[in-house]
């Protein structure tokens, strides 16, 4: 990112995105939640899954592919397990609401699992994790999009499922451990960005229609098209493939709606589990164990001149602290993509610091 990019206060970006979504018909309190979590993704450095998604969300609000208003339907509720039909409401808002409920239920039952079908897209998973870890709760969050295929099964070049991210938030006595990975070698967002810039990926994370690993996004436009590789690539992709199948079972099997139904709307199946350590060995004992291991890993020996070991989430939390203090540098084309919506909806653009 260019060093001369302007910085924007988190509060100003929250205001701007809230105004956009509210002007597009989303109830203001929901618009504020969606805005906050998109900006949180940018603050953490996940700039393909923050405000970069805002223009697409607004497009879908205009077309009706994302429902601006309405409520989800409770399909099942057994106390510790819940299933919702999201009716293609904002997936960001739905997931936020599910986490609030999951935290309450976990305090009552020790653990709570919520599954959502027919949600709209849910943005960066890591942005949601502090909603639970800040309360001393462990969170597991996974999603897939049953309407999209971008990743090939191990041994194939034909796309059959999505990158299927999996995120886990683990409290410690200090900073939480924030895990956010995908079952694919790269993401659709990064691949699309590099294709738009006419550039290659940093590694051979794609497979062409001859079964060869590639770093060229153009292989996805060939006839027949290639695909994203599963995590582990051509050598160890069976591991990412297995992880993807597990996530498909959690996000489509558990809510009872997925690829077999032939959905065409961009969206998500969501799996969420909140666990209260107090219901097990106790929070203090839990954080003693997790914090001890984190400290051991950070202090592990490294080759001469190498940087110390970072725990998952250390970089994101450091970037968020820096963004809180000094503002966020948005990826260069984000505000440009939102300019037509800013004018159309009569929203005041964000003012840089």
- CATH number for the region 7-185+229-289+313-344 comes to 3.30.1370.60
Quick one: angle between helices 314-326 and 28-44, nearest 10?
110
52/19 Cα distance (integer angstroms): 16
Q: Encode pLDDT of 10-29 as tens digits.
A: 999 999 999 999 999 999 99
49/140 Cα distance (integer angstroms): 19
| pTM (2 d.p.) | 0.96
Cα end-to-end span (Å), the chain? 18
Beta-bridge partner residues of 77: 82
206-207 sheet: strands from edge to edge: 213-214, 206-207, 227-228
Least confident of 86-95, 285-294, 329-338: 329-338
Phi/psi of residue 82, each to 5°?
Answer: -140, 140
Considering the chain, what percentage of its residues have pLDDT values greater than 90? 97
Cα-based angle 91, 129, 330 (whole degrees, multiple of 5):
75
> Residue 178: in which H helix or E strand, if any?
strand 177-181
Q: Encode pLDDT of 164-202 as tens digits.
A: 999 999 999 999 999 999 999 999 989 999 999 999 999
Q: Encode pLDDT of 216-268 as tens digits.
A: 999 999 999 999 999 999 999 999 999 999 999 999 999 999 999 999 999 99
Report whether pLDDT(38) > 80.
yes
Report whether pLDDT(2) > 90.
no
Nearest to 115 by CA among 137, 86, 90: 86
């Amino acid at each position: 990112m260019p060093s001369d990019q302007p910085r924007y206060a988190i509060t100003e970006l929250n205001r701007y995105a809230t105004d956009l979504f509210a002007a597009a018909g989303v109830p203001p309190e929901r618009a504020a939640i969606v805005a906050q979590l998109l900006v949180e993704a940018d603050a953490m450095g996940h700039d393909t899954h923050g405000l970069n998604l805002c223009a697409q969300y607004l497009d879908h609000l205009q077309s009706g592919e994302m429902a601006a208003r309405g409520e989800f339907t409770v399909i099942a509720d057994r106390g510790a397990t819940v299933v919702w039909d999201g009716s293609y409401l904002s997936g960001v808002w739905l997931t936020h609401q599910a986490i609030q409920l999951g935290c309450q239920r976990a305090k009552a039952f020790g653990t709570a699992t919520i599954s959502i079908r027919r949600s709209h897209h849910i943005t960066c998973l890591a942005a949601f994790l502090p909603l639970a870890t800040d309360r001393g709760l462990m969170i597991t969050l996974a999603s897939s999009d049953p309407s999209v295929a971008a990743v090939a099964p191990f041994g194939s070049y034909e796309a059959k499922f999505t990158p299927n991210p999996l995120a886990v938030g683990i409290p410690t006595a200090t900073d939480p451990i924030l895990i956010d990975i995908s079952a694919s070698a790269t993401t659709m967002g990064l691949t699309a960005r590099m294709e738009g810039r006419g550039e290659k990926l940093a590694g051979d994370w794609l497979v062409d229609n001859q079964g060869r690993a590639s770093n060229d996004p153009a292989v996805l436009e060939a006839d027949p098209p290639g695909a994203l590789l599963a995590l582990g690539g051509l050598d160890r992709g069976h591991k990412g493939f297995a992880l993807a199948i597990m996530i498909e079972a959690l996000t489509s099997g558990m809510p009872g709606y997925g690829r077999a139904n032939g959905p065409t709307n961009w969206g998500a199946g969501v799996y969420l589990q909140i666990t209260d350590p107090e219901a097990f060995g106790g929070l203090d004992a839990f954080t003693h164990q997790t914090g001890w291991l984190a400290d051991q890993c950070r202090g592990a020996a490294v080759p001469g001149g190498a940087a110390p070991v970072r725990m998952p989430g250390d970089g994101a939390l450091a970037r968020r602290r820096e963004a809180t203090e000094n503002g966020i540098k948005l990826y260069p084309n984000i505000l440009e993509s939102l300019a037509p919506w800013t004018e159309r909806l009569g929203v005041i653009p964000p003012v840089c610091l």
